[in-house]
């Protein structure tokens, strides 16, 4: 996909219940949350978003969290959130977009869930740089089958589950293959992806659930003050046995936390 695609593409799961929007992380796609969305039905109707430069959505000239949040807001206003505010769940990079969405467009967001990321710069960028470099090292012009990409990637990425996640971005295109995600841009702008923009004195005063994996270092005690300054009504929950990909590593605990928080009566 390229700049000719719609800026934001999404898929709806479920036909009834409270509306909840899912925003994925780097290398991901909306469909990464399919099983979580199905587990929440019929009490929740979910919108699985492909963020710009990922999945079926269009490509941009650069990575800009505020601009991305504005594109998502426009997409929501034109459809899923046309009748009022929705819940928003964002993981990693998508968590930063979700935070910007709530801070810049508070009328659109009822409750916010931020999964294993903080409103801060840093984190394990070296891991993501390695993964981007590993994908870039695959010469797509010489690929004859998908399995070949996995074989080549295995030389640098030893975890089969991680390879499977990354290779969701590989698409057959005519007689060859192409990357669906804008890997060149993501590689170039990785420092921006790892950062967090200055939001001034903006705050979001609705309930916020901050979910961390106990085996991840993306959410640390020193991040607490910044989170509470931007989101005064934040509750932190740590999920045991989960690393950075909380929703895929401990899906039942993640779904349970979402149900409890999003279904609560207090406002």
Question: Which residues are identified as catalytic?
Answer: 92, 184, 244
Instruction: Quote the CA–CA distance of 65 and 73 in Å, as a whole number.
Output: 12
State whether residue 79 is helix, strand or coil: coil
DSSP state of 63: -
**Which string of DSSP letters, residue by residue, matches 100-140?**
HHHHH-GGGEEEEEEES--SSS-SSHHHHHHHHHHHHTS-G
231 HSE (CA, 13 A, CB side)? 28
Taking a C-beta distance cutoff of 8 angstroms, is the pair 10, 49 a contact? yes
State whether residue 212 is helix, strand or coil: strand
Instruction: Quote the CA–CA distance of 227 and 220 in Å, as a whole number.
Output: 11
What is the b/e burial string over 186-218, where b = at least 16 CB atoms within 10 angstroms of the residue's CB? Answer: bbebbeebbbbbebeeeebebbbbbbbbeebeb
Phi-psi region of 90 (alpha: psi -120 to 50; beta: other; left: phi over 0): beta
Contacts of 158 (CB under 8 A, 6+ apart): none
Contacts of 119 (CB under 8 A, 6+ apart): 96, 99, 196, 223, 226, 227, 230
Which residues partner with 234 through β-bridges? 208
Question: How far out from the chain centre does Cα 264 lie?
Answer: 24
């Amino acid at each position: 996909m390229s700049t000719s695609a719609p800026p934001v593409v999404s898929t709806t799961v479920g036909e009834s219940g409270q509306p909840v929007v899912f925003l994925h992380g780097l290398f991901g796609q909306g469909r990464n949350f399919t099983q979580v969305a199905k587990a929440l039905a019929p009490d929740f109707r979910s919108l699985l978003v492909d963020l710009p430069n990922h999945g079926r959505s269009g490509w941009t000239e650069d990575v800009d969290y505020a601009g991305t949040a504005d594109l998502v807001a426009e997409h929501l206003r034109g459809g899923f959130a046309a009748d009022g505010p929705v819940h928003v769940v964002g993981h990693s990079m998508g968590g930063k977009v979700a935070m910007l969405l709530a801070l810049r467009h508070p009328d659109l967001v009822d409750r916010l869930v931020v999964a294993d990321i903080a409103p801060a710069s840093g984190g394990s960028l070296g891991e993501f740089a390695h993964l981007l470099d590993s994908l870039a090292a695959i010469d797509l012009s010489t690929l004859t089958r998908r399995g070949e990409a996995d074989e080549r990637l295995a030389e640098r990425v030893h975890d089969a589950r991680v390879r499977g996640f990354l290779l969701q971005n590989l698409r057959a295109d005519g007689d060859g293959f192409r990357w669906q995600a804008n890997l060149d841009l993501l590689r170039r702008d990785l420092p921006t992806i790892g950062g967090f923009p200055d939001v001034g004195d903006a705050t979001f005063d609705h309930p916020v659930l901050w979910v961390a994996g106990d085996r991840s270092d993306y959410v640390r005690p020193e991040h607490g003050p910044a989170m509470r300054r931007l989101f005064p009504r934040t509750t932190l929950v740590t999920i045991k046995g989960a690393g950075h990909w909380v929703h895929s590593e401990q899906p039942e605990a993640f779904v349970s936390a979402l149900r409890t928080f999003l279904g609560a009566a207090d406002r």
